[in-house]
Structure 1
Amino acid sequence: MATAPIKPPQRLLGALSGDQEGPVRAWLEALPTLVQQQLDAWELTLERVHAPGGLGSLVALVRQQDGTPATLKFPVPGRPAAQEAAALRAWDGRGAVRLLRADEAGGALLLERLQGAVSLRSLPEAKALLEAAGTVRRLWVPPGEGHPFATVAERVAQDAKALGAAGESAGAAAPLVEEALELGRALPDGAPEEFLLHGAFRQGKVLAGERVPWLAVGPAPLVGERAYDLARLVLDRFEDLVAGSGAPAAARRRVAKLADSLDVDRERLRGWTLYRAVRAGLRESAVGDRQRGELLLEFAAYL
């Protein structure tokens, strides 16, 4: 039975406030009931809803019937919950949070309990990058025959229309957008390898655990080359790097250091980092964070 009111966190409500109609709105309204039904079905006891929580899911801290702590996650409809479950099964706790149960119909995931308030971002930058590199290395496994995951090439193709439209009004950043478009066309065709990727890997996605010190959470799994995954890690704490002296050289050193430490081609990592920085910068500007968007484009220009 629930021991506390089941209420979606304000951060989640705010993130989805623009969706006033359709399945997401209906899901939000039904969420307290859905959570209680899942608690009953899996014989879980609710401790509390995790707050502030994320932007794309409700997370609740629960106890299993034998008293073991766990985490219950409800992804927003339309998010690839089934693919997240498939990736977690493939990793089976190696470098990532362990999946305990999954509701294929409703999308709920029961996960091992990690320390949600302690991520790699709590460590000094050099130590955080070292631990992150060691964690992501364990996630790069063959995807297996008949895998259900989208590919990097497919993801980039979906992005191309938005990138092209943004480039038409990008002003001084137009050459950067054009370079990102060209990289998006060329890099997938020349990919030298195919691995299961986290897809959204960064320091904030690696939490402290009991079983091992650090485990990844919240994948948006893709299949493709490792440089695509590693590019997002290059962008971690980019604001600090941009604010420092010698920022362009420091950005290029970070690319070289991460590429060499994980045996990834430097030039391909540079290309994917530029691509992901431009794509993220345009997205941030589009949702209203123009300052962060411009900083991401500045970082891309360093490369």
Structure 2
Amino acid sequence: MATAPIEPPRRLVRAIGDAPESPARAWLDSLPDRVAERLAAWELTPERVHEPGGRASLLVLVTQADGTPAALKFPLPGRPGAEVEAAALARWDGWGAARLLRADPDSGALLLERLRGGVSLRSLPEAKALLEAAGTVRRLWVPPTDGHPFETLAARTETAVHLLRERAAAVPSAAPLIDEAVELRRTLPTDAPEEVLLHGAFRQGKVLAGHRTPWLAVGPRPVLGERAYDLVGLVLDRMEDLAAGTGAAAAARRRVGKLADSLEVDRDRLRAWTLVGAVEAGLRAVSADDRARGELLLEFGTWL
């Protein structure tokens, strides 16, 4: 019996928009056919589309021919890291991250081990979540193999600086902070103490409960660089809770210190990368018309 066509979740549809000529829209429109082709080729039985899902991928929960549950993922082409996600997952081979079962380079499809998608580290109290996050991300920091396809943080410098400058005009009051972020983004990669494989988008919401091990990372945007870069998302996690309390600036600096010390990362470099990350995320939020969040992120940058 033929299965009904897969319908992309509304969050993904809204994120891509309806511009008929865009490559992203063309990819979205082709998804039902792409999914049907992979289901047949890999002998998968679809259960349901994961909702609400992400803004840059489609995830279909499936059952393999032997009855083992899995997840079929289609990353949005052109998203940073999409082309090398399979290579990173293969390098980790289930150590700290969801295991890659199969990959199809033509369609970009990834068949992944099934995790408990509704349970992330954000479901834990903050102290416990940070402890588990630190233990998980530490496993991902491995040297790249010969002939690897991964870009470096240094290679992304000019693009990152251009975006900072391009978006700065929307928040003229933050000009000194943005200038500091630009200078740090230029200089930090030039004297990095190491170059290891990074998750690239690590935060509490990217670590899900597993079955063979308690917690596993998902959704990497792999890049080569220093470990401090991978901790920025953890410093910024639950920043609203910090902002709502007293002594927010001191609490933010304490978080930097605790994370740096627990993972043997230089405090000053983590502080610097976090300032860059807060400014980048703040300007991105402002450009997406989420000014309240954007201004909070920029304020977080001043606390550092």
Q: Deviations 1:248-294 (Å, cap 9, x if unpaired)?
A: 00000000000000000000000000000000000000011000000
The residue that corresponds to 2:283 in the other structure is 282
- Asked if 1:294 corresponds to 2:301, the answer is no
Residue 146 (structure 1) shift: 2.4
Task: Give deviations 1:100-153, integer Å, cap 9, x for gaps.
Answer: 000011100000000001000000111001000000000000012221111111
Deviations 1:47-96 (A, max 9, x none): 11111111001100000000000000011122343300000000000000
Question: Could you say if the C-alpha distance between residues 56 and 169 of structure 1 is closer, same or farther in structure 2, counting changes exceeding 3 Å?
Answer: closer
Distance 1:249 1:274 in 2: 15
In 2: Cα distance, 1:64 partner to 1:242 partner: 46
Contact 1:163–1:279 (CA under 8 A) maintained in structure 2:
yes
2:115 maps to a residue whose letter is L
- Aligned: 1:7 with 2:32: no
Q: CA deviation at 1:22?
A: 2.8
Cα offset, 1:156, TM superposition: 2.9
Q: In structure 2, the residue corresponding to 1:150 is in which secondary structure?
A: coil
Alpha-carbon distance in 1 for matches of 2:102, 2:215? 21
Q: What TM-score do you get using the length of structure 2 for normalisation? A: 0.97
- Whether the aligned pair in 2 keeps the contact of 1:24 and 1:77 (CA below 8 Å) is yes
Question: Which range is displaced more, 100-109 or 166-175?
Answer: 166-175
- Give the aligned partner of residue 184 of structure 2: 183
Q: How well do the aligned residues superpose, as a CA RMSD in angstroms?
A: 1.2
The residue identity in structure 2 corresponding to 1:200 is A
How far apart, in 1, do the equivalents of 2:106 and 2:220 lie? 19
AA in 2 matched with 1:298:
E
2:84 partner letter = Q
Q: In structure 2, what residue type is equivalent to 1:115?
A: R
Task: Note the C-alpha offset of 1:4.
Answer: 5.0
CA distance in 2, matches of 1:228, 1:17: 31
Secondary structure (helix, strand or coil) at the match of 1:156 reads helix
Whole-angstrom distance in 1 between the partners of 2:168 and 2:14: 29
Which residue in the other structure is 1:33 paired with? 33
Match of 1:100 in 2: 101
Code of the aligned partner of 1:60: V
Which residues of structure 1 form unaligned runs of 5+?
Answer: none
Q: Could you give the per-residue CA deviations for residues 133-192 of structure 1, whole angstroms, max 9, x where no partner exists?
A: 000000000012221111111223211112123334532211100000010111111101
Stretch deviating more after TM superposition (218-227 or 167-176): 167-176
1:18: Cα distance to partner? 5.2
Provide the identity percentage: 68
Supply the distance in 2 between the matched residues of 1:170 and 1:254 (Cα, whole angstroms): 27
2:40, 2:18 → 1: CA distance?
A: 31
2:101 and 2:112 in contact (8 A); partners too: yes
Paired position in structure 2 for 1:45? 45
Q: Would you say the 8 A contact 1:207–1:216 is kept in 2?
A: yes
| C-alpha deviation, 1:2, in angstroms | 5.8
- In the alignment, is the contact (CA less than 8 A) between 1:6 and 1:32 conserved in 2? yes
In the alignment, does 2:266 pair up with 1:244? Answer: no
Counterpart of 1:214 in structure 2 is 215
Query: By how many angstroms is 1:39 displaced?
Result: 0.1
Residues 44 and 63, structure 1, Cα contact 8 Å, conserved in 2: yes
TM-score (norm 1): 0.97
Contact in 1 for aligned 2:167/2:284 (Cα 8 Å) = no
Worse overlay, 249-258 or 239-248 = 239-248
Q: CA 1:2 to 1:197, structure 2 compared with 1: closer, same or farther past 3 Å?
A: farther
Shift, 1:5, TM fit: 4.5
Q: Superposition pairs for residues 199-238 of structure 1, below 5 Å?
A: 199-238=200-239
> Which 10-residue stretch deviates more, 75-84 or 59-68?
75-84
Aligned equivalents of 1:129, 1:52: Cα separation in 2:
25
Residues 2 and 46 of structure 1 are in contact (CA less than 8 Å); yes or no, is this contact kept in structure 2? no
Moved over 3 A (4+): 1-5
Counterpart Cα distance in 1 of 2:207 and 2:167? 32
Note the residue ranges of structure 2 that are not aligned, 5 or more in a row: none
1-structure distance, mates of 2:129, 2:264: 19
CA contact (8 A) 1:199 1:221 kept: yes
**Could you report, residue by residue, the CA deviation over 1:3-59 in whole angstroms, capped at 9, with x for unpaired residues?**
554101001000101543232212211211111111000000001111111100110
User: Which amino acid in structure 1 is aligned with residue 251 of structure 2?
Assistant: A
1:131 matches 2:95: no
In structure 1, what residue type is equivalent to 2:16? Answer: L
Pick closer, same or farther for the CA change 1:220–1:2 going to 2, 3 Å.
Answer: farther
